[in-house]
A = this chain, B = another copy of it.
Amino acid sequence: MTELSARRALFIVDGRLQASIPVSDRGLAYGDGLFETARFKKRYLPAWRLHLQRLMRGAEVLGLDIDASLVERNLDLALDFAEEHQIRDGIVKLIVTRGDGGQGYIPLEKSVPRVVMTVREYQPLQLVRPESGDAGSVELVSCRYKLSHNPALAGLKHLNRLEHVLAARSASLNVGQQGLVFDKDDRPVETLHHNLFLIEGSSLVTSDLSLCGVAGVLRRAILEHFAPAIGLSVKVEHLSSDDLVAANEVFICNGVHGVTPVTRWQECRWQEGHLTRKLMQCISERWNCFYDG
């Protein structure tokens, strides 16, 4: 267990337990690659298919020749290591870069992607727990840095994340707070690490991510499966701050922490609403209590 205790994480590079990558990797040089961050419990990853689909869609945009079965084999290996090190509730972060080579920005015609896995223990989201005894929620704090528009890369989980780092640096966040990120036209897009959903009547609304933002796997599962399953209609559109103010319920979600109610942003206060709770129950039932406890 030395590797785990020393670094609090296990690193696997191209199938080998190894904590470093070559300086010449294009992931370092240019952010030329993609990543996924998935939660697992024992060997159960309910959203894995969605992670893999997003990865492969990103690979198509970047022209990365990723072999899905190789990724699967690396995941299996990561889960083996997790078992060996008794990580039962963990996070696996997968990075696939374009590997080495090329002439500056111009990649080799036949590059060999590098697969990097990081495995660590799950850490729960820090929540605000109001006296009411609710399950817990978060508050949103606006980031001052605004995302630019980039239709070609929007939605993808690529390695060019400086804008999110700058957004993170532009908010000062306390325990239980998440940074709300806006685009250059002042439209709320997402939080630093989650997608944003509003409930208006019996409609579930989330931001259109065709210009910026990251399209999360749980966002997709909610839009395609969980919301319809509880009778909510879904809308994907560019949101305004007014939409946020007017919402009956607000929540954020990601594949690691599931759905988390939002109870505060600036002057706004929301209850942990019953539709959000119904959605959480639906996810819990279909995904074997994955996000519970």
Residues of A within 8 A of B (CB): 7, 9, 11, 13, 18-32, 35, 61-63, 95, 97-98, 104-107, 116, 118, 145, 148-153, 158-169, 173, 179, 192-193
Contact = CB atoms under 8 A, between A and B. Distances in A.
A152 B159 contact: no
Nearest to A30: B161
Nearest to A148: B150
Nearest to A61: B166
A30 B162 contact: yes
B162 A32 contact: yes
A23 B21 contact: yes
Nearest to A23: B11
Contact of A24 (B106, B118, B145): B118
Contact of A167 (B13, B27, B63, B105): B105
A46 to B, nearest CB: 21
B166 A62 contact: yes
Nearest to A160: B160
Contact of A165 (B9, B13, B107): B107
A105 B168 contact: yes
Contacts of A173: 106
Given A23-B13, A23-B116, A169-B63, A29 B105 contact: no
A196 to B, nearest CB: 16
A95 B28 contact: yes
A28 B25 contact: yes
Contacts of A104: 168, 192-193
30 contacts: A11-B23, A11-B24, A19-B22, A19-B23, A21-B21, A23-B116, A23-B118, A28-B97, A28-B116, A29-B35, A29-B159, A30-B162, A30-B164, A32-B161, A62-B165, A104-B192, A105-B164, A105-B165, A105-B192, A106-B168, A106-B173, A106-B192, A148-B148, A148-B150, A148-B152, A149-B149, A150-B150, A152-B163, A153-B166, A160-B162
Contact of A149 (B148, B163, B168): B148
Contact of A105 (B9, B118, B153, B161): B161
Given A118-B24, A193-B104, A153 B161 contact: no
A28 B24 contact: no
